[in-house]
Every structure is written in structure tokens, then in C-alpha cells.
Amino acid sequence: MTAVQLETRAPFSRPRARILVCEDEIFIALAEVDLLERHGYEVVGTVDTLEDALDTCERQRPDLVLLDIRLRGRGDGVEAAKEIRRRFRIPFIFVTAHCNDVTSQRAAAAEPAGYVAKPYNEGELLTAVDRALAA
């Protein structure tokens, strides 16, 4: 290639990662969406139930799911995680404040790509997201 050809080539850019936020607290969900979008991620939706998480994964096929363990309605985030892994093979990160010993064991058995305890700082969440997407 000549120097002119190198200058006219489009620079390499990776596609924006697509993330689903599954959170039962609306203000936390909005804060996560804001943080992710400010750092170049595309948020494909925010949901607060197991059913909506599965439906959105089916329709949108995100690259990653941020998943609270406590959800509204039937089921919890651990159950959602297991179904997301089984049906779609989409990695997920648990982002939660609700974790006793039994829940911790259930969560670990779901094989998350990461775990972030609330309250978290922005760097913790972004690091977990970057690691999960790089794996």
C-alpha cells in the first residue's frame, strides 16, 4: 500500500457492545444506563422481571446482561441467569446488594462472568463489564 492509501483507509473501530440492564430499582437502572452510555456502550433495554429479561434476550440478543438478583414477579436473577445461559449463551454479571450465603452459592453455580456488589463505584462496574466482554 502507498502512503496515500494508508491515509484514506477508515480507522479501525469496534462495534459498540450491546447490554441489557435487568434491575428492579428504577433509579439504579437509570444510573446504570447513563454510565454505560457515557462510556460508549449501547443499552438495548431495561427490564425488571425474569420474563422480560428472557423476552428481551430473545429479541435483542445483547452481548452482555447486567442482572440484579432481586427481581419483580416470578423468579429471581439467579433463575434468569440460568435460563439466559442455557437458551442464549449470553454472559451476565450479577450486580446486587442482596446476597446471603445460600444466594451466593446459587449465584456462583450460575457461572456469572462477573459479580459487582452494591453500592459500587463506577470503575468497579466498568471494569467488570470490560472483563466480561473480553472473555
What's the CA gap between 54 and 113, in Å, rounded? Answer: 18
Specify which residues 21 forms β-bridges with: 46, 66
Reduced to 3 states (helix: H, G, I; strand: E, B; else coil), residue 118 is coil
Task: Give the chain's end-to-end CA distance (angstroms, integer).
Answer: 34
80 within some domain:
yes
Confidence of residue 15 (pLDDT cuts 50, 70, 90): low
92 within some domain:
yes
10 within some domain:
no
What's the CA gap between 111 and 25, in Å, rounded? Answer: 24
Containing structural domain, residue 62: 16-119
Looking at residue 14, its pLDDT comes to 52
Single out the residue of 84, 74, 119, 79 nearest to residue 98, CA to CA. 119
Kindly report the CATH number assigned to the domain that includes residue 30. 3.40.50.2300
Q: For the segment 46-102, what is each residue's pLDDT rounded down to a tens digit? A: 999 999 999 999 999 999 999 999 999 999 999 999 999 999 999 999 999 877 788
Looking at residue 103, its pLDDT comes to 83
Looking at residue 101, its pLDDT comes to 83
75 within some domain:
yes
127 within some domain:
no
35 within some domain:
yes
11 within some domain:
no
Q: What percent of the chain has pLDDT over 70?
A: 89
Looking at residue 7, its pLDDT comes to 44
How many folded domains does the chain comprise?
Answer: 1
Cβ 33 vs Cβ 129: under 8 Å: no
84 within some domain:
yes
Cβ 125 vs Cβ 95: under 8 Å: yes
